[in-house]
A = this chain, B = another copy of it.
């Protein structure tokens, strides 16, 4: 019971910060300037301070490295990664977190790290280019994307990806980008409006160029979807 046979371990947090950019699910990454994995892209994160809670550390690191000062309305724990050799320097246990923000909450400027930018998730995960991810961050990113895909099925968290006010097409675009499918506009509308508290009508409408103007909505008080939004096969 006494930790005499335990090696020193480092405790870190990493954040999978997702958004929708140009109709694509995107993730914030930081280019590493030092070894190991210098030049590779890593999830924003870092060591947890003494007496600091995990979610506090996640928010602080996001602020320091990427100046995303936006109060993250949703930050949840994703999973913990502790494979002994995942960091060549020492044993490091990383508690990964998952967060959603609307498109372009801030232009990722004034960053502490060498460089921070948004990457399209599938480009980073399945792109043929020689993009290199640090540590086991590819696995973490895979788990984060999968968690996001299932979370928007049975919660209203998809609305965290859009700025208020938004149209039902905006919200539908979130589902289509995260799931990688096309949804029928009419059926999607019926589903969202039949869920009490998912969105609230503002009465106003907006035209974005071609097509009939769409009614504008805001996020409603509901947090769960019963029954869930069904994800099409492919």
- Give residues in A with beta carbon < 8 Å to B: 1, 3, 5-11, 34, 46-54, 77, 79-80, 82-84, 90-91, 93, 95
Contact = CB atoms under 8 A, between A and B. Distances in A.
A54 B82 contact: yes
Given A34-B1, A77-B79, A95-B82, A50 B7 contact: yes
A119 to B, nearest CB: 21
B83 A80 contact: no
B3 A10 contact: yes
A46 B91 contact: no
Given A11-B93, A93-B11, A93-B93, A5 B47 contact: yes
Contacts of A48: 6, 82
Contacts of A93: 11, 93, 95
B6 A49 contact: yes
A170 to B, nearest CB: 28
4 closest A-B pairs by beta carbon, nearest first, are A7-B50, A80-B80, A51-B84, A3-B10
Given A1-B34, A11-B93, A50 B6 contact: yes
A49 B91 CA distance: 11
Given A1-B34, A46-B1, A84 B53 contact: yes
Contacts of A84: 50-53
A90 B10 CA distance: 14
A47 B47 CA distance: 21
Contacts of A11: 6, 9, 82, 93
